[in-house]
Structure 1
Amino acid sequence: MNPKNIKILFASKKIPEASLVAAAKALSVSGGEVNAIAASGNSSFDVQKLKSFFKEHSLGEIPQLHSMEQVDFHTFDLVVYLSDTDELDIYPRLPGNPPMLTWKLDGKGDSREEDLRQILERTHDLFSHGYLDALVTYKRHGDLVLESLNEGIIAHDLKRRIFLFNRAAERITGFNKEEVLGKDCHEVFPGKFCGEKCSFCRLGTPGLDELDKEYSVSLVSKDGKKRTITMNLFPIEGPNKKPLGVVAAFRDITEELRLRRLLTPSTSFHGMIGKDPRMQDLFALIEDVAKSNVPVLILGESGTGKELVASLIHHLSPRKDHLFVPVNCGAIPENLLESELFGHEKGAFTGAIREKRGRFELAHKGTLFLDEIGDLPLPMQVKLLRVLQNGTFERVGGEKTINVDVRIIAATNKDLKEAVRKGEFREDLYYRICVLPITIPPLRERKEDIPLLAIHFLKDALKTTGKRPEDMVISPEAMAILRDYDWPGNVRELQNAIQYALVRCKTRVIAPEHLPASILKSKSRVIEIDRTPRTRGRRPLNLSPEAVKEALIKTGGNKKQAASLLGISRASLYRYLQKNMH
């Protein structure tokens, strides 16, 4: 049984007659079931002599002769190269490349009829001795292994021409094998398959020791989706370790990373800190909101980080390449607010000595953040509503209508629904800006985040002083006070408290006595802290036996660590123990 769907290339650089005869014989022997192609680097031959030879041996019509320069060897199952010299292989023996037989012709004379007769015999033997059947079995088994892998496999030569691309690679990238084989890797994949880590870009022709063997990279698939893949690279080498190409096994870990984030939530999100479930929900909501273009209303007490959330939404959105323009509606005098938002023409009022663009114009194609929108006067609410509805306005003193494309993010610490009920805020404006409401929980409702935030602020503050993060810690007693406090000023107040303690603390441990008095006074239990002004010489200790015992128990009797927890030196602790605890 002759194998079907097999493509054989009979090629010769100098002898077109040989490749034509071999292809014709293959077609006649297989009954047309094999796709035999003839290619040559030379298209010149004696047509009449070749016709006579074909007729004598019943070879039928002379096949079409292709140019070797235009033939893609990778698309064939077998290449038979016909040569009258000891030429080297016409392409590297790379994995994924078809096997190649080299038939050396040894006939004599210009007619080469002896060579052509040898080709007829060899071509007949190729089919009659089971070689092609074995090739089909080998190819089927090899493809089965390659296509059954869950990992994508891609390989290219030193010119980055892809010659291997399995089914998993098709699934992960969205590209079909036919779209990539034989093409430059960089031309097929937008932004390069390996991103900025392409060894062939950095090194030209990398050797075995110069390749990055394993790394993760972001890949844009054919449908435009961004995927994260992990890659393992293996150089392909020939004799004498000569580099021939690279094969990469890669795996899509996009979903794995998403699930990992769900199972082990990150405590940090683009500068925001929080492991509380409400903060984790907030992080996810910010990502979703950033993808849309509708107005957002951020609700939260003073100091919760409303402007940070607004900035994150902007910088994660498609508008990130344009300006984020913040405006504090409560901080601008009412008589200047219209000019600040919409701009003014030269001479519009006393002091308008030049034309000025307003915040809406500055935020064109970007985001305008209206902080404390609850403080906006009613007349200005009407003008703002018009801009939100039509995207148009006029500058103060101007007649020209200006069109803008601006996303509005508003924020307030007030109850706008109550303000609407009292007639202090327009109902139509409220529903215009409150398409996507986001509520930031106050710090007192997420106590578990206080230690994370305190340590984060301490590290940030230490950087400004040139100290290392490990140079200072917060004692358990001080941390307990921070956790118990209600934080009416929220995250901003906590940050200020850490900066205050850092200034007051002269040791490496922040103790309760270093915290602001307002925090200590609000504690439910009384704590006595020595507030005696510092003088030269030794400062008297104001420790309780209970505090010392607790510190020793927590440190397992280690006096050095206990002294650090108490915010005193080890020598001071020894003196206290000698005097007070027998």
Structure 2
Amino acid sequence: MADLTHTLLDHDNLNLVLDNLKLGIIAHTTNRIITVFNKEAERITGYLKEEVIGKDCHMVFQEPFCGGKCSFCDGPPDFPFDTKEYPLNIITKDGSARQLEMTVSAIISHDNVFKGVLASFKDVTESFNLSLKAETLSSFAGIIGKDKTMQDIFRQIRDVAMYNYPVHVSGDTGTGKERVAYAIHDISSYGNGAFVPVNCGALPEGIVESELFGHVKGAFSGAIKERKGRFELAHKGTLFLDEVADLPLKTQVKLLRFLQEGSFEKVGGEKKVSVDVRIISATNKNLKAEVLAGNFREDLYYRLNVIPIHLPPLRQRKNDIPLLAAHFLKEAEKESKNGVPQLAEETLDVMLDYHWPGNVRELKNVIQFSVVRSRGNKILPSDLPMEITENKIFSVRTANTPPAPEILTAKGKLDIESVKTAIKKTGGNKSKAAKVLGVGRATLYRFLARNEELKTYADQF
């Protein structure tokens, strides 16, 4: 009797501990039967403990709680079961959307038997929303950016990931369209499936249908066996159609039919093939203009452009250049056995003056080039590629030359009023305003980035 009482007390204490955690906790068996569901899990999901304990988690939540990232949809996963960490969007019992950070681990018995899974999750919805509102978020789902336009894009990515509506990402070459597409895929319910990118412009017209939809044996000369296309390879995942404007009109018809019916026929085949695929398209062209020119079907345009996301060119968000450069330098440091040099202040000034036709991709290439070329602990303007520095006049700092003070002005430091005065005096020309203030342009940009009201004032000229 004493042993039973002790066991009950231990069980009560365990529940008490779990209910006082600030993490949602769910545990279930290898058959998906929920055995643990704490108070924080109740608060986050909207479901009560008595509604879920002893039931199949798929039945309780009407679908896998972790969406496409579920490892138990087709039975228990292979043992050993690796710990997984990932962002997750869920719909609560009352229909509201919540953003979580999820960790899933295996429950292993003392005799090394796989007993089930333990999922812990944290609700980060409010902190994410506050960061967006305050515009203090500097990265999201692998995308770097603190500019207001990027904060808006972060919000769009989070919102659209909840639904399986087609998304069309537009923007100049090198702005990061595939990165945005992958971010949507990764935090959506399709994130456990494959992300299959296709460059439609790189596919020869003669084989584009076969590449996308596959073919049956004998469909054409050389088709010696049946082959899956990209749509089938992306089943339960995301198909990213990059440069979709370059698709031949004949293939556009077949794509439209798939979007309407959810099925297609392989080249040379008669059997309907159904797949569950999220479609994200992208192009650096004006797709509406392509419709008017007769190069793109208007009905397909409206099918693909349900949720449009436009990425701004880097020249329109130069405040992010220091942030992006620092990120690429960290990447270079991970790949190098030695330390990497840092950007000199005057080098950043030169980079801020450049128009960046290749956008973020070009910036990454420039950082990699400069790291290799630099011979000291600073990347100097002379270490930059020629196209960045041509028509620029700059002085090379020697070891005995002290660096220019970063934020010295007549008042000693940058302040809002002196910056406003300089911007007004120069008609909004930031390069001239920096000279009036006696600072580098990079320093002025960083100051503006920290003061959104002042940045808005500067942008109105």
Please tell me the TM-score bracket, short chain as reference: 0.5 to 0.7
Contact kept? 2:263, 2:274, Cα under 8 Å:
yes
Equivalent in the alignment of 2:403:
551
Which of the residues 248, 269, 275 maps onto 1:404?
Answer: 275
Matched, 1:513 2:368: no
2:331 equivalent among 456, 460, 482: 460
Alpha-carbon displacement from aligned partner over 1:344-375 (angstroms, at most 9, x marks no partner): 11222222122101111111222111100111
Q: Distance in 2 between matches of 1:89 and 1:368?
A: 58
Counterpart position of 2:214: 343
For residue 287 of structure 1, report the CA deviation from its aligned partner. 0.6
Please name the residue that 1:42 is paired with: none
Equivalent in the alignment of 1:498: 367
Asked whether the 8 Å contact 2:168–2:282 carries over to 1, the reply is: yes
* Cα separation, 2, equivalents of 1:256 and 1:316: 17
Q: Give the distance between the partners of 1:506 and 1:433, measured in 2 at CA.
A: 49
Do 2:132 and 2:151's aligned partners in 1 also have CA atoms closer than 8 Å? no
- The 1:260/1:295 distance shift into structure 2, 3 A limit, reads closer
2:389 partner letter: L
**Conserved 8 A contact 2:341-2:374:** no
Residue of structure 2 in register with 1:281 after alignment: 152
Residue 431 of structure 1: aligned partner: 302
> Which residue identity does 1:331 align to in structure 2?
A
Between Structure 1 and Structure 2, how many residues are aligned?
Answer: 337
Quote the Cα distance in structure 1 between the aligned partners of 2:47 and 2:336: 53
- Tell me how far apart the structure 2 counterparts of residues 252 and 315 of structure 1 sit (CA, whole Å): 18
Provide the rounded CA distance (Å) in 1 between the counterparts of 2:405 and 2:345: 13
Q: How does 1:91-490 map to 2 (within 5 A)?
A: 157-158=12-13, 160=15, 172=43, 179=50, 223=93, 255=126, 258-263=129-134, 265-468=136-339, 471-490=340-359
Q: 1:418 and 1:319 mapped to 2: Cα distance?
A: 32
Aligned partners of 1:298 and 1:411 also within 8 Å: yes
Q: Please state how far the C-alpha of 1:507 moved relative to its aligned partner.
A: 0.9
2:216–2:223 CA contact under 8 A, matched in 1 = yes
> Equivalents in 2 of 1:404, 1:370: separation in Å?
16
> By how many angstroms is 1:253 displaced?
7.8
How far is 1:405 from its partner? 2.2
The one-letter code of the counterpart of 1:315 is D
Q: 1:526 aligns with which of 393, 396, 404?
A: 393
Distance 1:383 1:271, change over 3 A: same
Separation of aligned partners in 1, 2:18 and 2:175 = 56
- Which structure carries more relative contact order (alpha carbon 8 Å, separation 6+)? 2
Which string of whole-angstrom CA distances, capped at 9 and with x for unpartnered residues, describes residues 113-172 of structure 1?
A: xxxxxxxxxxxxxxxxxxxxxxxxxxxxxxxxxxxxxxxxxx96356479999xxx6984
User: Equivalents in 2 of 1:430, 1:227: separation in Å?
Assistant: 31
Contact 2:135 2:151 in 1 (8 A): no
The structure-2 alpha-carbon separation of the partners of 1:89 and 1:286, relative to structure 1 and needing over 3 Å to count, comes to closer
Structure 1 residues 526 and 435, CA, compared in 2 at 3 Å: closer, same or farther? same
Distance 2:378 2:263 in 1: 57
Q: Does the CA contact (< 8 Å) of 2:194 and 2:238 recur in 1?
A: yes
Counterpart Cα distance in 2 of 1:294 and 1:439? 16
Give distance in 1, aligned partners of 2:204 and 2:232. Answer: 20
CA separation in 1, counterparts of 2:17 and 2:407? Answer: 63
Deviation of the 1:313 alpha carbon: 0.7
What's the CA shift for 1:458?
1.0
* Other structure's SS at 1:369 match: strand
Rg larger in structure:
1
Identity percentage of aligned residues: 50
> Secondary structure in 1 aligned to 2:264?
strand
Correspondences of 1:12-51 after superposition (within 5 Å): none
The one-letter code sitting in structure 2 at the alignment partner of 1:374 is A
Change (3 A) 1:264 1:419: closer
Task: Rate the CA distance shift 1:486–1:253 in 2: closer, same or farther, 3 A.
Answer: closer
Map 1:63-102 to 2 at 5 A: none
Contact 2:131 2:137 in 1 (8 A): no
Secondary structure at the aligned position of 1:265 is classed as coil
Query: Could you list the runs of 5+ residues in structure 2 that have no partner in the other structure?
Result: 21-38, 65-87, 102-121, 409-439, 441-461
| CA positional deviation for 1:228 | 7.4
Q: Secondary structure at the match of 1:518?
A: helix
Q: What is the CA deviation profile of residues 77-128 of structure 1, one whole-angstrom value per residue up to 9, with x for unaligned ones? A: xxxxxxxxxxx99968x9xx9xxxxxxxxxxxxxxxxxxxxxxxxxxxxxxx
Letter in 1 for 2:306: V
Relative to the length of structure 1, the TM-score reads 0.51
Separation of aligned partners in 2, 1:378 and 1:308: 27
C-alpha contact 1:172 1:252 (8 A) present in aligned 2: no
| Counterparts in 2 of 1:255 and 1:287: CA distance versus 1, 3 Å | closer
Q: Tell me the secondary structure at the aligned position of residue 423 of structure 1.
A: coil
* Mean Cα deviation higher: 428-437 or 155-164: 155-164
Instruction: Please give the alpha-carbon distance, in whole angstroms, between the structure 1 residues aligned to 2:302 and 2:397.
Output: 58
Encode CA deviations 1:44-100: one digit per residue, 9 max, x unaligned.
Answer: xxxxxxxxxxxxxxxxxxxxxxxxx9xxxxxxxxxxxxxxxxxx99968x9xx9xxx
- Structure 2: how far apart are the matches of 1:368 and 1:164? 41
What stretches of structure 1 of length at least 5 have no aligned partner? 1-68, 70-87, 98-154, 192-217, 230-250, 529-541, 557-564, 566-582
- Counterparts of 1:91 and 1:386, CA distance in 2: 66
Cα drift, residue 472 of structure 1: 2.2
Deviations 1:556-577 (A, max 9, x none): 9xxxxxxxx9xxxxxxxxxxxx
Structure 2 residue matching 1:334: 3-state secondary structure: coil
CA distance in 2: counterparts of 1:422 and 1:436, whole angstroms: 23
- 2:217·2:226 contact (CA, 8 Å) conserved in 1? yes
Return the offset for 1:335.
0.5
Counterparts in 2 of 1:463 and 1:418: CA distance versus 1, 3 Å: same
**Aligned to 1:411, what secondary structure does the other structure show?**
strand
User: What is the alpha-carbon distance in structure 1 between the residues aligned to residue 99 and residue 144 of structure 2?
Assistant: 26
